[in-house]
């Protein structure tokens, strides 16, 4: 939680108000705890994730958990009436990361996004007391688009860690191999593949964009910021259509804007999204 104060995100959301920022910070603490256990903890990560879930169970039977982060989360859950399902899905995403490092199809990748990304948007809607089934569906599309954008920006980093978040069926479609991914700007199949995936992510953002106009001013501004940041990163990827643009594009990818500037896989989508929401 202390590190959160020092990380830099470029979506300014000071208009959210202190109370909501405190609730978002509590959710961020949970997401960061789960990400750190799932990605970095020594020992039995599955058992540690189970321990976090037992603390979550305590909250939903009205007991105060022992862990400081979970105790802070309890106050937010009780104050906002947050459902348990999004938190459990974030835990399930991290359990899946211990077992699955490749996704065969785009539908499988979207199913993963439903666990690792969609819950965050749903929780933010609940904090603002604007969660409806229709809005949650639109939020799911935005979150999937943002997470895929993040995966595309971090493709080399993920590959180095043994993970690939590009559907294997799409590699085959473009005649690319896994080894093309770290240097995708340098190979025609790799370049065509990533531009294709970027356009898919852009379509997801467009599908979810109507969410903004259904919201009050404060959450509308936050959603607009997420969309702008994601689209800026995707425009950079999509613009790399010729060899003359690729060197410039590679430099721009090292200096992404908006939401995507904060979305590093080492931290995880959930924590990046929530830090952006808080304007950090």
CA separation, residue 62 to residues 25, 55, 77, 123, 200 (Å): 21, 11, 10, 19, 42
- Both tokens assigned to 42: 């020594």
pLDDT of residue 205: 97
Task: State the Cα angle at 123 between 118 and 124, rounded to 5°.
Answer: 100
Residues of the chain with pLDDT > 90, as a percent, come to: 62
Domains in the chain with CATH codes: 14-277 (1.10.600.10)
pLDDT digits (tens, 9 = 90+) for 155-209: 988 998 899 999 999 999 999 999 889 888 888 999 899 999 999 999 999 999 9
pTM: 0.84
- Both tokens assigned to 164: 């690939």
């Amino acid at each position: 939680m202390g590190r959160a104060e020092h990380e830099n995100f470029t979506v300014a959301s000071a208009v959210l108000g202190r109370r909501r920022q405190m609730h978002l910070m509590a959710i961020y603490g949970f997401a960061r705890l789960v990400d750190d256990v799932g990605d970095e903890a020594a020992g039995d990560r599955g058992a540690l994730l189970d321990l976090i879930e037992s603390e979550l169970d305590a909250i939903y039977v009205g007991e105060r958990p022992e862990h400081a982060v979970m105790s802070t989360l309890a106050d937010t859950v009780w104050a906002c009436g947050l459902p348990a399902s999004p938190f459990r899905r974030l835990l399930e995403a991290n359990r899946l990361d211990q077992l699955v490092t490749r996704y065969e199809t785009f539908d499988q990748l979207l199913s993963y996004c439903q666990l690792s990304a969609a819950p965050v948007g749903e929780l933010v809607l609940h904090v603002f007391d604007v969660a409806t089934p229709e809005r949650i569906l639109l939020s799911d599309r935005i979150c999937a688009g943002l997470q895929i954008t993040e995966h595309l920006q971090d493709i080399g980093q993920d590959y180095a860690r043994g993970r690939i978040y590009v559907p294997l069926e799409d590699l085959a479609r473009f005649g690319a191999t896994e080894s093309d991914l770290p240097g995708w700007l340098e190979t025609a199949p790799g370049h065509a593949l990533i531009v294709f995936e970027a356009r898919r992510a852009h379509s997801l953002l467009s599908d979810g964009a109507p969410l903004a106009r259904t919201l009050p001013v404060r959450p509308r501004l936050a959603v607009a910021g997420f969309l702008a940041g994601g689209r800026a990163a995707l425009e950079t990827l999509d613009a790399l259509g010729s060899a003359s643009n690729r060197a410039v594009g590679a430099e721009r990818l090292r200096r992404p804007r908006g939401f995507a500037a904060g979305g590093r896989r080492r931290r995880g989508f959930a924590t990046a999204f929530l830090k952006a929401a808080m304007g950090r």
